[in-house]
Amino acid sequence: MQFKIQKGNGLKGEITVPGDKSISHRAILLASLADGNSEISGFLEGEDCLATIEVFQKMGVNISRREGVFVVEGKGLKGLKDPSGPLNFGNSGTSVRLCSGVLAAQEFSSTLIGDSSLSSRPMTRITEPLGLMGANTSSTEEGTLPIRIEPVDSLKSIKYSLPVPSAQVKSCLLFAGLYSQGITEIEEKIATRDHTERMFEQFGIPIDVSQSKGAKLIKLNKVEAINPTDIDICGDFSSASFFILAALITPNSKLLLKNIGVNPTRIGFLHALRHMGANIELQNEIDSFEPTADILVRTSNLKGITINTNLVANMIDEMPAFFIAASLAEGTTKVKDAKELRTKESDRLQVMSEALDSFGVKFRLEDDGIIINGLGKTGSFKAAEINSHGDHRIAMASSIGSLRSEGETSVLDCFNVNTSFPNFIDVCKEVGINIEKV
Ligand code: S3P
């Protein structure tokens, strides 16, 4: 599937985007492990989160959809049943890594598989620490899927300092920690998204979060039972980021994005853009278990900046969109400490650099980042053919970038946009973007 996009002008409108992907996965996991029924509204019905639902349905959890609300009939921490067959996580790194923490503690064996992209992503980052907890896991020699998990008598708690800034690794260990004798302690030197910590609190699971010597320390005790809880999920900031970008780079534009998650560990993109001079206002801020706001964005002249470590971790999924913003800014933008981008649905440093090259942008690619020479406020991209390599975020970032190209741009391999933003094309059309699926 490819998208064809025309140069844009005057984007206008008030829009919502689908539910947050990270929060949707976590809601299904915890609701499935709770004792009783939880109702989840605003759930992201994209392929990644639907894969999580199917995995738990295969393990005997009834999950039904009633008028847009998902009702999960939780089976309790020890109530999952043997899926008798492989569990398929499709394209979803979050799902496979978080579920591994749960599966390591079950009394049945499991085999975890995924699509070709997921099957090439690193899994030793979870199998190693799970092994320290006493879990019995094996993967391929390269440390990739399929993962096989065999039952063990019990898991023991560990103290673990995350070697890479990864919320998926942290969350995998927190899910395993629910079942582990003693107190699981996780140290994070670079803070990553904290949806698991917040969702544990929401489900009444005691979790202690503190700061020590500049690092974050999370402590969790084994739990006996989880209370069912209703969850209302806000719009996904990562999906919103494409429309923030669209409004900023397209002349004469003004967009209002309603009810978007603005968890402080997720909005590095917003801070980076404001540093670059972006005109972005937050309105109607609500401080609930996951803070939300309406985001008003107007066309802006951007200036290049330098970003590294902490900001990178808080905008890791927005980097493809950020590279487009940087390419249209005045001056040079430097991104450092971003090697994690090479372990995503594609090698996002490599694949985005190919996209920028096709757009006619000058840059220097480094092992852990990129230096981009912006084209400036009057600059435009060459009309191009971009290969997204099946990476949803590259497909969407390049499509939005095409709003500033000289003619029609084609973006190839866009089928995986369905993993995170199934109605992307409809929302594009709603704000006046001329885009077609072919
Ligand atoms: C996610 C964590 C991030 C992010 C992914 C979602 C999560 O991955 O890229 O899209 O929901 O925990 P890492 O933890 O590997 O950085």
pLDDT at 372: 98
Amino acid at 310: N
How confident is the model over 249-288, as pLDDT tens digits?
999 999 999 999 999 999 999 999 999 999 999 999 999 9
What mean pLDDT is predicted for residues 110-127? 98
212 pLDDT band, cuts 50/70/90, is confident
* Annotation: CATH topology of 21-227: UDP-n-acetylglucosamine1-carboxyvinyl-transferase; Chain (3.65.10)
Share of the chain above pLDDT 90, in %: 99
pLDDT at 38: 98
The pick from 20, 30, 94 for probing ligand 1's pocket by mutation, whose C-beta has the most ligand atoms within 8 angstroms, reads 94
Q: Are 213 and 190 spatial neighbours (Cβ–Cβ below 8 Å)? A: no
Neighbours of 163 (CB within 10 A): 11
Location of structure tokens 């072919």:
438
> What spacing in Å lies between the alpha carbon of 168 and ligand 1's midpoint?
5
What mean pLDDT is predicted for residues 207-227? 96
**Sequence spans of domains, the chain:** 3-18+234-437, 21-227
How confident is the model over 24-41, as pLDDT tens digits?
999 999 999 999 999 999
Query: Same fold for the domain at 3-18+234-437 and the one at 21-227?
Result: yes
Q: Which amino acid residue places its CA nearest to atom 15 of ligand 1?
A: 166
d(CA 74, CA 429): 39
What mean pLDDT is predicted for residues 177-200? 98
What mean pLDDT is predicted for residues 163-173? 98
Q: What is the DSSP string of 74-89?
A: EE-TT-----SSPEE-
pLDDT at 52: 98
279-283-289 Cα angle (round to 5): 120
> What spacing in Å lies between the alpha carbon of 253 and ligand 1's midpoint?
31
Q: Are 23 and 195 spatial neighbours (Cβ–Cβ below 8 Å)? A: yes
> What spacing in Å lies between the alpha carbon of 9 and ligand 1's midpoint?
33
Mean pLDDT of the chain: 98
How confident is the model over 302-361, as pLDDT tens digits?
999 999 998 999 999 999 999 999 999 999 999 999 999 999 999 999 999 999 999 999
Q: What is the DSSP string of 194-206?
A: -HHHHHHHHTT--
pLDDT at 31: 99
pLDDT at 51: 98
The pick from 44, 48, 193, 315 for probing ligand 1's pocket by mutation, whose C-beta has the most ligand atoms within 8 angstroms, reads 193
Helix, strand, coil abundance in the chain, percent, nearest 5: 35, 30, 40
> What spacing in Å lies between the alpha carbon of 22 and ligand 1's midpoint?
8
Phi first, then psi: what are they for 264, rounded to 5°? Answer: -55, -25
How confident is the model over 51-105, as pLDDT tens digits?
999 999 999 999 999 999 999 999 999 999 999 999 999 999 999 999 999 999 9
- Report the atom number in ligand 1 closest to the C-alpha of 125: 15
d(CA 273, CA 190): 21
d(CA 399, CA 420): 15
Q: Alpha-carbon Rg of the chain, whole angstroms?
A: 21
> What spacing in Å lies between the alpha carbon of 345 and ligand 1's midpoint?
11
Asked if 368 is an active-site residue, the reply is no
Structure tokens, 41: 């509204």
Residues 6 or more apart in contact with residue 249 via CB below 8 angstroms: 299, 324, 325, 328, 400, 401, 403, 404
The pick from 316, 394, 420 for probing ligand 1's pocket by mutation, whose C-beta has the most ligand atoms within 8 angstroms, reads 316
Verdict on whether the full-model pTM lies above 0.85: yes
Structure tokens, 132: 């320290």
CATH of 3-18+234-437, one of 3.65.10.10, 3.20.20.70, 1.10.3720.10, 3.40.50.1820: 3.65.10.10
C-alpha count within 13 angstroms, C-beta hemisphere, residue 339: 6
Selected catalytic residue, list 317, 337, 357, 413: 317
Give the total residue count for the chain.
438
